Structure 1
Amino acid sequence: MEKSLKLDRMYIERAQNVGTLFSDERDSTFQKEYSLYSYQQKILTDQFNGADIIFLDAPTGSGKTFSFILPVIGTFEKDQGGILTKTVVITEPTNQILEEEESEISLILKKYFNDKIKVTKITGPGKEKKDQKGLAHGNYENIINAPYHSKLILTNPDILTLLISYYYKNIIIENRFNQQFNDSKLKDWKQFFASVDYLIFDEYHSYNEASLGKLVAYTILGKGSGLFKDFKHLKIIFSSGTPLATFKNIIKKNIDKSVKIYDSIKPEIFYGKDIDKSKAKVTQFRGETEIIFTDREIFEETDYRNNDGKRRMYLFNKVVEMEQFGEKLRRENISFISYSRIDTKIKDKQIDKNDSNVIISTATTMELGSNKNPDIAHVEVGYNVESILQRIGRVSRRGQAGKIYIHLGQQNGMLIDSIKNYTEPITYEQLTEEVEKLLNKKFLDVPSLNANIGAMLYFVYKGLSFDDPAKSDVEKIGKKFKFFEAMVRVEEFKENAIDILNKTQRGDQFEIENLKRWVVNVFNSFRLFRGNILEKDIEFTRGGIEVVRSSQNLIWIKRFTEYEYNRENDVYSIKKFSDEPNNIFCLIYPSLNNRKGLSIPYLELIDKSKFTNNIKRDFNEWYEWNFQNCENETLRKYLSDIQTVIENLSYLTLPTIETEVSDADFII
């Protein structure tokens, strides 16, 4: 079963030529040649009605990336001698997007400004590895000093989070390089914010609640509280082709009412059938796109065998499916290029924009901001409305016509009947209405998001020195969030755990020290932008030819692969990708061992079959018994607070703890 729609050609209104926007009349190739969309002109000339928080809602392919660098270009053109006065920090969700963005921006700057505007890209491991003592210091130096020698900074929010949460600074202090090391001379995130004019979070719709909560916390600190007077000049921009209304409302709710918000700056869109009626000067930015909804499985497609000069993309929901498709192509001796997280260390992935007859195999990360420009795409339906609209946006990006197959598969194929029949090309708004018949909009768990706001405010509160006048104010803001207060009390309990537990005769020294260590690990999980992912080195052979070495989340390895583990080298050798996810469950608990003494909060990956209703019942009975029968009020509060913390852990934030668990312990 199939049903076809055509998304009409899309046009954006052009503004006046850049050369007429500035007071000086210097001869500039850029001024003469480059014109802007009207919404880009607003960004260039700061026409936000005094707003400091701006939401940029622009469809895929409509020039968002170029608009990000306009504040820097504007000051270069206006200031005699090219003295730059604006600093822009652009964050992207993946390093793949940063690579493409750096390439595109560098070409523009080289052509028009002779490389006089410097671009700095800062990426790297998201968290510390035990065998790289200087890594934190290096990343810290790179990000904290970037605004002083570059006006365009490209990075990911992970690096920014490690700076703001005092992770880098704490690691540096703990690993002093010499006895004369002076903690007070270390700059922190406040100096960084004070040096930045525009902080841009692109593709923010792609983040989960843990990450979005941190973005809200940064907004509260940067603009929403009025605590830091040095940030008056700072503007924060949230950019997406598929904006999240719930997230916007949370931002509005949590900032000071005196802060102005520009709710939506977006381009004026015209469609092919309306161009003759429009008097505006417009430019086509998207070609006509044929969208075919089909109940065929994506693995059933064989058009990759057509040697017709077309560039094709196959986009899967899971890396496992992408790898299985790759094996299929190898068996047929068909060349292709793969993009996924496990390919991040492979450098020869560039595709020339003029190359044809290329087959691209990829997973979900490629749906965000990628410019591989396939002529034909086959994609799985995705997880929500925002996901599928992003995937449709991969084709027809440079004005050429394109075709995309949305594979719903046999299980969801009956939903195709709900799609309306159209006799002529439709608008983006009509397309959105049809997609909403197939999928729900992205759901945000607001309590979880609020918990992560509180967590990040807690780390800033802890990191501020006692004599910093902002410390008490951050505490006042933090207390609006239940999670902030829970973390404060859990930290207090950790500091006094030995005395409390000795008095109540609950637990020995070994267990207490492990508990304290575990609390630190849990807290650090919330300190990281995407949570604490336990990564392990992997290697596997593709088609008996290419040996891939990378790293991957341990949970992912155990769920989706058959592997052998080399304990000596700590490497997982993948033998086969699983057809179905292995029945692995992530479990964690703070337990009083057999109702007698304090045991260690523990994480394990176990077979789900071991997770029985009886164990779940026993755990609930254990918790109720301990809470009701505990005579020490401090310990009672601790049990309650630590439950609050655990409730907001996701499988990405679960830390491991190295200890043995007896058969009698409940793993819940």
Structure 2
Amino acid sequence: MSESIEFNFDHEYVDTDETGTPSFQREFVDEIINGNHEVLFLHAPTGAGKTYSFILAIMNSNPKRMDPHLHIIVAEPTNEIVNEFYCKFVTMMEKNPSNVTERPTARMITGQARSSEGRMKEIRGAVSSNNLVVTNPDILSLYVAGNYLRTARKDSANFQDALMQADVVIFDEYHSYDPQSLGKILSILLVSRSLNLGTPKFVFSTATPSEKFMRMVKEAVGDVNVLEISASADPFSMKGREIRGELKVIVTDEDIFDTVGEAKKFSEGRGLGRLAYIFNSVVEAERFVGNLEADGIHPEVIDGYRRHLRSKTKEETNCAQNAEAIESAVIVATSSIELGVNIPDLSLGRIHAGYYFENFAQRLGRFARSGQHSFVYVHVDHDLIEGFRSIKNGGCNDYSDFLLQVSRLIASKHISETEVLNNRDIFTYCIWRNTNRPGLKDSIKDALQGFGGGYLFEVDQVLEEIREGDPSSEHVKSFVDWWKDYFLSFGYFRGAVSEVMVRLPNGLETKYDWLHVLRWAQLRVDGGVYVVERWRERGEAAKPSVSFRDFRHGEKVLDWEKMKSGNERLFREEWKEQLKSDLGTYLHIRDDERLKRYAITLGRALNVITPRTLRPIDIKVQDNDNIFI
């Protein structure tokens, strides 16, 4: 018998000026257009109008500029949100023309480019010719790191070209990034600042602020250069999470898979509105979808496996049709709804509590924004029920007090400062390696040495000595290639992947990460297509990773058969031993002191990096941790 505990909240979120505009929006727009701060943190509750603030900044003209509108890059965490934000902007421009002659323009950039050089030119042109470029952080980081074009051409992509034409760069929902991604963002910020470009301003926006990351940014650029704009007097308390209207929350240990009957009622069109499910993982969502489809229910599915089926190019995107794209009364999703995809007419939610408190708060926030009555079931493990009962019995003064007490019950997402700083150094090194302009290269090197990453250059200094001494040596060539391959993966925001064609149990074909499919599905191969025969209850194969990223060139150094056998212990040992073996081979070459010195220097770098290179087998991974371009 399942247990349930009910909570009811009623609150009107009101923080507007005499015109009805939220005061934080006016403050944000004024600071973007007229302010002198280099970095802004925008903190406001879910649904309060953070993304609308970005649009307001573009719509408001600036008479001091020859071009009356700002040029803003917005990085959204998932492609579904990229598409939704782009369409919101386009629709607003059509309905609310600006007060100047030329209407602001927008460009959406997602998906694969036809060629690396084509993507480089696409982004460069988009920023200069549009007022809004909305993309995902993976594409933006690939561009600034110079990984789209690896030639000796002097005009190849580089950091300066990427950002000098933008007035503002916004990382929305920054709380969703892991320490490795935050390190890359910090690298972009610090390198931009060290080059004295004058622009852009950097904005970090979320309803779930990270006090630790905010402190790290302040330490990096100075308190006086950072401004926090908030809808709450104390955004780091739960007071920044006001809701609008009534919210009923029922915490239950009922198995969410036992609620197919309720989904059936919504799917039959009984005027009940829409029912949204939010799962912790893609695999759980896909297993549930299979159960629904077996019962004749065809939900709208928003998860990683379906992204290719839902994604559209800029030319294919019809925003008028997009607004009506969700036809089903039953929605099954993972983190896309949690992070910002808006579903109209939501009347009931059934959600997993999430791996971390931030997931819990964000998911409730999606339902507590309508200004009407919202009803949400939160499905938790039985061992959490007693904790929620204690909260109920102890009394909750309001919604913010409820969240404060839940934050003591469900662990918050941990951000390791060491990991952030290590990845800052590594990503800056990637930018430096792929920059071909001498003056710019020297500036980036000075910046990296200034914040403690100078040891990485020792490897390159020795590399040059080796090349000059014996450029034909196979030992030198193979080891240098291994070093390049190892570091290549760090130039990617959330990881390079090897995608394969996958046929889901319902017959739909899509593309997805081969390693993820291998771990979570029982497969057979049909003409090059990986056919999912069933989803596993738990992962049965290890997932190799560099800096918590899939190792792009892992097939060169790993025994894939051990991974496919599902023997996690052997595979982990193979990975670690391979790293030691590669390094040890060169450490024991006694007849080449320069090569030995190179290996020792490399070893020093690996001693810092290696502890971050293998993702724990049991780590909790959400689908937004695997965003692909």
Q: TM-score, normalised by structure 1?
A: 0.77
1:619 offset after TM fit, Å?
A: 8.4
In structure 1, the residue matched to 2:59 is: 73
Contact conserved, 2:81 with 2:340, CA < 8 A, in 1?
Answer: yes
1:448 offset after TM fit, Å?
A: 1.6
In structure 1, the residue matched to 2:356 is: 384
Contact conserved, 2:278 with 2:350, CA < 8 A, in 1?
Answer: yes
1:433 offset after TM fit, Å?
A: 0.9
1:74-473 correspondence to structure 2 within 5 Å: 74-75=60-61, 84-113=68-97, 116-125=103-112, 134-170=114-150, 173=151, 183-186=153-156, 188-223=158-193, 225=194, 227-228=195-196, 231-255=197-221, 257=222, 260-267=225-232, 286-301=244-259, 302-307=261-266, 308=270, 309-347=272-310, 358-373=329-344, 374-421=346-393, 426-428=398-400, 430-465=401-436, 467-468=438-439, 470-473=440-443
Q: Which amino acid aligns with 2:352?
A: E
* Distance change in 2, residues 1:295/1:497 (3 Å): farther
Alignment partner of 1:36 is 2:38: no
Does 99-108 or 82-91 show the bigger shift? Answer: 82-91
| Whole-angstrom distance in 1 between the partners of 2:141 and 2:583 | 37
* Distance change in 2, residues 1:212/1:615 (3 Å): closer
In structure 1, the residue matched to 2:494 is: 530
| Whole-angstrom distance in 2 between the partners of 1:355 and 1:628 | 59
Alignment partner of 1:59 is 2:45: yes
Does 199-208 or 531-540 show the bigger shift? Answer: 531-540
Q: What are the Cα deviations for residues 377-409 of structure 1, in whole angstroms up to 9, with x where unaligned?
A: 111111111111111112132212101111112
Does 637-646 or 143-152 show the bigger shift? Answer: 637-646
* Distance change in 2, residues 1:40/1:422 (3 Å): farther
Q: Which amino acid aligns with 2:189?
A: T
| Whole-angstrom distance in 2 between the partners of 1:84 and 1:266 | 28
Give the root-mean-square deviation of aligned CA atoms. Answer: 3.7
Does 408-417 or 213-222 show the bigger shift? Answer: 408-417
In structure 2, the residue matched to 1:550 is: 510
Contact conserved, 2:545 with 2:613, CA < 8 A, in 1?
Answer: no
2:610 aligns to what SS in structure 1? helix
| Whole-angstrom distance in 2 between the partners of 1:630 and 1:99 | 54
Greater relative CO (CA pairs within 8 A, separation 6+): 2
* Distance change in 2, residues 1:121/1:312 (3 Å): same
* Distance change in 2, residues 1:447/1:500 (3 Å): farther
Q: Which amino acid aligns with 2:417?
A: V
1:268 offset after TM fit, Å?
A: 6.8
Between Structure 1 and Structure 2, the one with more strand by share is 1
1:431 offset after TM fit, Å?
A: 2.7
1:85 offset after TM fit, Å?
A: 3.4
* Distance change in 2, residues 1:643/1:354 (3 Å): closer
In structure 2, the residue matched to 1:659 is: none
1:577-596 correspondence to structure 2 within 5 Å: 577-584=535-542, 586=544
1:45 aligns to what SS in structure 2? helix
* Distance change in 2, residues 1:474/1:294 (3 Å): same
Contact conserved, 2:170 with 2:202, CA < 8 A, in 1?
Answer: yes
In structure 1, the residue matched to 2:316 is: none
* Distance change in 2, residues 1:629/1:118 (3 Å): closer
In structure 2, the residue matched to 1:474 is: 444
Q: TM-score, normalised by structure 2?
A: 0.82
1:625 offset after TM fit, Å?
A: 8.3
| Whole-angstrom distance in 1 between the partners of 2:327 and 2:310 | 20
* Distance change in 2, residues 1:269/1:251 (3 Å): closer
1:486 offset after TM fit, Å?
A: 4.6
| Whole-angstrom distance in 2 between the partners of 1:614 and 1:187 | 39
| Whole-angstrom distance in 1 between the partners of 2:571 and 2:327 | 54
1:525 offset after TM fit, Å?
A: 0.4
1:50 offset after TM fit, Å?
A: 2.9
Q: Which amino acid aligns with 1:167?
A: N
* Distance change in 2, residues 1:86/1:150 (3 Å): same
* Distance change in 2, residues 1:352/1:623 (3 Å): closer
Give aligned pairs, total: 576
Contact conserved, 2:158 with 2:434, CA < 8 A, in 1?
Answer: no
Given the alignment, which residue of 560, 565, 572 partners 2:525? 565
* Distance change in 2, residues 1:325/1:187 (3 Å): closer
Q: What are the Cα deviations for residues 310-335 of structure 1, in whole angstroms up to 9, with x where unaligned?
A: 31111111111111111111121123
1:623 offset after TM fit, Å?
A: 9.8
* Distance change in 2, residues 1:619/1:45 (3 Å): closer
Does 341-350 or 5-14 show the bigger shift? Answer: 341-350
Alignment partner of 1:518 is 2:518: no
Q: Which amino acid aligns with 1:346?
A: L
Q: What are the Cα deviations for residues 545-571 of structure 1, in whole angstroms up to 9, with x where unaligned?
A: xx32222222211110011235x64x3
| Whole-angstrom distance in 2 between the partners of 1:71 and 1:351 | 24
* Distance change in 2, residues 1:487/1:321 (3 Å): same
Q: Which amino acid aligns with 1:123?
A: T
Q: Which amino acid aligns with 2:338?
A: E
1:578 offset after TM fit, Å?
A: 1.0
Contact conserved, 1:379 with 1:407, CA < 8 A, in 2?
Answer: yes
* Distance change in 2, residues 1:142/1:613 (3 Å): closer
* Distance change in 2, residues 1:608/1:512 (3 Å): farther
In structure 1, the residue matched to 2:623 is: none
1:466 offset after TM fit, Å?
A: 5.7
Q: Which amino acid aligns with 2:10?
A: D
* Distance change in 2, residues 1:493/1:549 (3 Å): farther
Contact conserved, 1:539 with 1:573, CA < 8 A, in 2?
Answer: yes
In structure 1, the residue matched to 2:550 is: none
* Distance change in 2, residues 1:372/1:326 (3 Å): same
Task: Give structure 1 stretches of 5+ with no counterpart.
Answer: 18-34, 126-131, 175-182, 275-283, 590-598, 653-668
| Whole-angstrom distance in 1 between the partners of 2:438 and 2:325 | 59
Given the alignment, which residue of 1, 4, 18 partners 1:2? 4
* Distance change in 2, residues 1:460/1:618 (3 Å): closer
| Whole-angstrom distance in 2 between the partners of 1:252 and 1:239 | 15
| Whole-angstrom distance in 2 between the partners of 1:245 and 1:380 | 25
Q: Which amino acid aligns with 1:45?
A: D
1:105 offset after TM fit, Å?
A: 1.7
Task: Give structure 2 stretches of 5+ with no counterpart.
Answer: 313-320, 548-554, 617-629
Q: Which amino acid aligns with 1:367?
A: E
| Whole-angstrom distance in 2 between the partners of 1:357 and 1:637 | 58
Does 633-642 or 208-217 show the bigger shift? Answer: 633-642
* Distance change in 2, residues 1:215/1:648 (3 Å): same
Q: Which amino acid aligns with 2:409?
A: L
Q: Which amino acid aligns with 1:337?
A: E
Contact conserved, 2:249 with 2:376, CA < 8 A, in 1?
Answer: yes
| Whole-angstrom distance in 2 between the partners of 1:518 and 1:619 | 12
1:533 offset after TM fit, Å?
A: 2.3
